[in-house]
Structure 1
Amino acid sequence: MKLSTLAQETGVSTASIKYYIHVGILPPGRKRNATTADYAPAHVDRLALITCLRRELGSSIGSITALTRAIDDESLENIDLMGICQQLALEASNALSPGTASARPGDSDFEHDIRNVLKELGWPDISPTAVTSMAAALEGLSASGYPVGRDTIIRHVQALAGVAARNTAPITDALSRDRICVEVIRGITMHNRLLLATSALAHASLSAMPRTSHENGPQTTNSV
């Protein structure tokens, strides 16, 4: 396809496309002659990723460059690439401090508990970033006086298992690596907004309902 067609299909201006090629995050098209080039579906996928990173995460060109280099590194497995995207999304949503996932020399108590729960559930322990992020959230709750323990981890993990299974179903190796990254980033950012809003709705509604001593679940306002 021509540059103008690529711009129309992706909603990215020709000037931006040329800039992305110039800084190296979008490969150039195949030269047709001295003034024109052909662009492929891979360019559409890469522009979708760049647009997602810019709009959803506010990523800098430097961050996008690092990710696109990882995508183009064929020695990097898809699961490792997904971990990089997960870290970018969690850092952008303030669920993980920049550099935290790689800075910790060993597991905290909460990280140890999380990994034990994963083992008990038979879930692969493949995301140090997610474990670190959840441990940080648990540490914050504990420091604020909320009773937090192994049951907290199990309750939240099991509550989200069905949602996560449905959301990750479209992510397969049949997708291009750029599309995999888009799915992971959108999955974290957009679905987390929905989860946050749903959590607010559930907490507001249930806190207004009559409670009895026979109810299951937390009986005080500061249990999680």
Structure 2
Amino acid sequence: MRLRDLAGASAVSTASIKYYIHVGILPPGQKRNATTAIYGSAHLHRLALIGWLRRELDTPIEAIARLCSFIDDQSLPTIELMGECQRLALRSAAGIGGSLVVSDDAGSTESDSAEAEPPRRDFDAIVLDALTELELPDISPTARGSVAAALAALFAVGYEVGRETVLTHLHALETIARMNTAPISDELSRDEICLQVIRGVTLHNRLLLSASALVHASISAAARVVPGD
């Protein structure tokens, strides 16, 4: 398809497409002649990914360029690419909502509260132990570190948290996670896989947060209802 056809199929303006090519996050089309280039499904997939990142997460071009470099690096295994997508989604969500805890590895964490007390337990080891018991592979230091940091933050303000806390949450979410990851297959392009992961993390996290608020509110209200009122 030509540039105008790509713009129509993707709902992205020709000016934006040219800009994305200029900054290197969208590959140029295949030259047919001096004035015409041909674009294909790979361009549609990349534009869908860029569009989601810009529209839903306000992801800066620099971060998108970094992700695109991972997508284009065929030596990077798909599972590692999915980890990078998860990290980007978590960081973007933290930047928008300001409430998520994100880490690059098990030993380095960030939270919104610079004055939070340091962990007084090895919460990372607790999370690892829970993963082992549930026979879940430990493939995401980002996610594991986030759970450990969230436990530390809860503990710092007086909540009693530990191994059973992690087991309860992981066990409850395992079924949901299996349903959510089912659409991701090797039949998809690497751009499509990234979009599935980032979109899934973003939207399902929103659902989990809102569902959690709903259940907590309902249970709190039910506990205060006086029989006979």
Q: Distance in 2 between matches of 1:3 and 1:104?
A: 47
Q: 1:96 aligns with which of 68, 84, 101?
A: 101
Show CA shifts across 1:91-148 (max 9, x none): 1122234xx3148279x71111111111111111111111011111111111111111
RMSD over aligned Cα atoms: 1.8
Q: Which amino acid aligns with 1:15?
A: A
Partner residue in 2 for 1:184 = 197
Partner residue in 2 for 1:45 = 45
- Segments of 5+ residues of structure 2 without an aligned counterpart are 95-99, 110-120, 225-229
TM-superposed CA distance for 1:69, in Å, is 0.5
Q: 2:180 aligns with which of 155, 167, 172?
A: 167
Partner residue in 2 for 1:216 = none
Runs of 4+ residues over 2 Å off in structure 1: 102-106
Q: Which amino acid aligns with 1:184?
A: V
Identity score, percent:
58
Alignment of 1:1-224 (within 5 A): 1-94=1-94, 95-97=100-102, 100-102=103-105, 104=107, 109-210=122-223
Q: Distance in 2 between matches of 1:210 and 1:53?
A: 41
Q: Which amino acid aligns with 1:96?
A: V
TM-superposed CA distance for 1:12, in Å, is 0.7
Q: Which amino acid aligns with 1:4?
A: R
Tell me which of the two structures has the higher relative contact order, counting C-alpha pairs closer than 8 angstroms and 6 or more residues apart. 1
Show CA shifts across 1:176-197 (max 9, x none): 0001111111111111111111
Q: SS of the residue aligned with 2:222?
A: coil
TM-superposed CA distance for 1:209, in Å, is 1.9
2:4 and 2:14 in contact (8 A); partners too? yes
Q: Which moved more, 1:10-19 or 1:85-94?
A: 85-94
* TM-score normalised per structure 2: 0.87
Show CA shifts across 1:41-89 (max 9, x none): 0000000111111122211111111110110001100010011111111
Q: Distance in 2 between matches of 1:118 and 1:11?
A: 42
Q: Distance in 1 between matches of 2:140 and 2:180?
A: 17
2:134 and 2:171 in contact (8 A); partners too? no
Q: Distance in 2 between matches of 1:102 and 1:66?
A: 18
* TM-score normalised per structure 1: 0.89
Show CA shifts across 1:165-216 (max 9, x none): 10000111111000111111111111111111111111111112248xxxxx
Q: Distance in 1 between matches of 2:127 and 2:197?
A: 21
Distance 1:130 1:105, change over 3 A: closer
Q: Which amino acid aligns with 2:101?
A: L
Count of paired positions: 209
Q: Distance in 2 between matches of 1:147 and 1:42?
A: 49
Q: Distance in 2 between matches of 1:19 and 1:147?
A: 52
